Amino acid sequence: MNAPSLRTRVAAAVAVTCFAVVAALALTLYTSSEDLEATLVDQIVSEEMAFLVRHHLENPDVVVREPGPNLQYYVVRGAADLANVPEKLRSLPVGQHEIGSGIDEQHVAVREAAGRRFIVAYDAGLHEIREQQFKRLLLLALSTVMIVAAALGYWVAGLITRQITDLAARVSVLDPGTPRAPLAQEGQETEVSALARAFDQYENRIRELIAREQEFTGNASHELRTPLTAIRTSCELLEAEPGLPDKARARIAAIAAAAERMTGQIEMLLFLARAQAPGSKEAVAMAGCVDDAVQPLLADIARKGLAFENAVPADAVMELDRQALDIVITNLLRNAVAYTHQGRIRVMLEGACLAVSDTGIGIPPAELPRIFDRFHRGDSQAGGFGLGLAIVSRICSQQGWRVDAESTPSRGSTFRVWLQ
């Protein structure tokens, strides 16, 4: 799973910080209001008790003024008075008490004086309801603060990270070969500008590296061409020699074939070294291109007894880089011939999709994803370097084409190239 984005994390951090601060504030407010209320109620109860005792002792026969709706007075002189006292207050010892909870909460004071027991009870239920309302209000404020803080944090973080995401978008489409404006620009934040400069420098180094690699490949291919031409010419001269034993003639043919193959590979390397940008396009007769590509393979096809079918319509013409197409078809056909021992090889064109199919040994499913890797070779080891398909894949991405392979072991393979 992807880690959350910087923007989300900043928003979460702001929200959590605001939540912690407001929660601490709300808790302090709530507990101190609760303490204050309890102290206030206890004070009312003690004052009422002092009043009741004083008044009763001064005028024992006069009934004390009617207590309020939340207040009850009881003076217990004997068993008869005790009967008027509610059950829950009867057995309370002398002192201040808090009984019941929620809406039934009562603060009670019990005192004894002049052989009598005085009880003052105060219903704190209303206060309790107010307290609950206050608590709900605090919770509402807390969730509102959290949502607002998260939205605000997300927005602010968006402002900060926008330049980074812009830079990431530009870096993601960078192509070291094509000219472009530097990533570092006026008006960038200091950190973003430093990052952009670092990318610019890095890209320059990559460009130099590519140039060096191209130069090396180009030079090496050039150097190799001359000795290979010498080998091929020598082979031709030797083959023309009369009275050569058959065994020697076969060896010379093998050397000539290998030199031919290597010349082909070197042509490809040279092409890749030269053509970083797509080359010039021209109208290409597709069937003719296939015929040209299969020409050097016809001897092998005949030797193996394979059938070859060029099913590309004779009038099919496409606008593309002919040399690139030639290398792609040559490689696919060479593989088809190398890895097919019986049956047929067919080339088709459906719309812009060129398909080369064979009835050869096929490719195991586990190997299929790796066949386009450089130097990957299957078990059959049919004499290649594991470079052909890597070159095909590289040319396709260079030309904006797409290549894929489909294969069933022992049944055959089909390579498709979408030429658009």
Rule CB under 6 A: which residues touch ligand ADP?
Answer: 335-336, 339, 358, 360-363, 371, 376-378, 380, 384-390, 413
Distance CA 327, CA 316 (A): 19
CB of 176 to ligand ADP, least distance (A): 25
Q: In whole angstroms, how far apart are CA 395 and each of 139, 216, 400, 417?
A: 64, 19, 8, 11
Q: Which is nearer to ligand ADP, 60 or 409 (CB)?
A: 409
C-alpha to C-alpha distance for 215 and 225, rounded to whole angstroms: 15
Q: Which is nearer to ligand ADP, 318 or 361 (CB)?
A: 361
Nearer to ligand ADP, 196 or 361 (CB): 361
Smallest gap from Cβ 340 to ligand ADP, in A, equals: 7
Instruction: Work out how close the CB of 320 gets to ligand ADP at its nearest, in angstroms, rounded to a whole number.
Output: 22
For residue 397, the minimal CB distance to ligand ADP (Å) is 15
* Burial group, residue 246, by CB count within 10 angstroms (0-12, 13-18, 19+): exposed
Helix, coil or strand: residue 52: helix
7 vs 334 by CB, closer to ligand ADP:
334
User: In degrees to the nearest 10, what's the CA dihedral of 376, 382, 387, 392?
Assistant: -110
Q: What is the biggest distance separating any 2 CA atoms in the chain, rounded to whole angstroms?
A: 157
Angle at 379 between CA 373 and CA 385, to 5 degrees: 50
> Closer CB to ligand ADP, residue 105 or residue 358?
358
Smallest gap, in angstroms, from Cβ of residue 266 to ligand ADP?
14
Residue 345: beta bridge partners? 308, 358
Residue nearest to ligand ADP (CB): 384
One-character DSSP codes across 152-175: HHHHHHHHHHHHHHHHHHHHHT--
Residues 48 and 71: beta-carbon distance below 8 Å: yes
Contact between 64 and 55 (Cβ < 8 Å):
yes
Q: Which of 378, 338, 387 is nearest to 358 (CA)?
A: 338
In whole angstroms, how close is the CB of 355 to ligand ADP at the nearest point? 12
Is 276 or 414 the residue whose CB approaches ligand ADP more closely? 414
- Output the smallest distance, CB 411 to ligand ADP, in A: 10
| Shorter beta-carbon distance to ligand ADP: residue 153 or 412 | 412
The residue type at 324: A
Indicate left, alpha or beta for 46 from its phi (over 0: left) and psi (-120 to 50: alpha).
Answer: alpha
Q: What share of the chain is helix, strand, coil (3-state, %, to 5)?
A: 60, 15, 25
Q: Which is nearer to ligand ADP, 72 or 331 (CB)?
A: 331
Cβ 389 to ligand ADP, closest distance in Å?
3
